[in-house]
Structure 1
Amino acid sequence: MPTSYVASSLLPTPYGTFNMHGFADSETGKEHLALSMGDFTDGTAVLTRLHSECLTGDALFSMRCDCGYQLKEALKRISEEGRGVILYLRQEGRGIGLLNKIKAYNLQDQGADTVEANERLGFDADMRKYDMTKDMLDHLQIKSVKLMTNNPRKIKALTELGIVVEQRQAIEVGENSHNKNYLATKASKLDHLFGR
């Protein structure tokens, strides 16, 4: 297994106490997390979010994206249901890394959209991969999910990995004057399913 389980601990949050599971990806050297709540052994679909790391949105409260808002919403929904998991994947800036993301932000400050900025830096619009999620979900004994996402690529990736996506739940939160164009670009160029 390229992504292997390392250790677990409790993680108290404002949304309740989660179990935090650490995983090491031998192919990329990245360390990923799963935040779980509840029991998954009955085999029913688990409320799930694949969340790619966004330091600016998740930790620095950036309003340029909707990432931090989505993370909080996912934690809230799981807490309300009493059962679910967030796979926190270390692939900042749609896979280009933090410093390149800052360069992309600079291009956006000059008028480029989020896709154009990545491409001007020599990257694909979205370089994220989701292969590591299979080993993570297998460790947690999850075979079927109710996926909180607006991104059809995540549904396709999980399906191709043999995970049953029983349901998609839209997670449309955090729109503001700073990210309105960013969200419009995600819909028009990256096929995100807003309002559907």
Structure 2
Amino acid sequence: MNIAKEYKDDPELARTFGEAAQRDEAKLKEEQARLERDAATLKQRAGELERQASEVAHNQQMLLRVIVALLSLLVIGVGIAGIIFTHKIAGPIFKMKRLLRQVGEGKLVVREKLRKGDELQHFFEAFEKMVDDLRARQQAKIARVDAIVEKLEADAQKGSKEAEPEGLAQLKRLRSEMQEQLDM
């Protein structure tokens, strides 16, 4: 406006200046429109990014929940498996300890078996074989004592003074004790 007042004497210059101003104004309007479109596009992209960020956060929360749930199931599964496996091992060990104590006390009878699926089956079988072997040895000794007792009784009936009644009684008590160990 000030330029139009100052150059009103020179209409050509004023027109040229006016055209240049209009071109500049048109360029500015185009630039403003472009910037407004860019701003709208950027707002749209910002909204999309916010939605994507929200979806990512939601997905991360879901993934975290799934991981926590799976880990919880894994811990519970490992715990249950641990209990089962320890019972399959600890039960037979407890039973073997009690049976070994009984054998140590002289009881040569194994009436118990391990549960199906328990561990240490081979060890228990070896233990049973050992008890059976001890039992067979004890029975062999009893048979020898029986033979000696029969001989002493036969000698005593014949009137032989070699057989002492006290020795015979001790031998019979020993045989009874040995038989008790087999019958317990």
TM-score by length of 2: 0.18
Say which structure is richer in strand. 1
Please tell me whether Structure 1 or Structure 2 has the larger radius of gyration of its CA atoms: 2
Structure with greater contact order relative to length (CA < 8 Å, sep ≥ 6)? 1
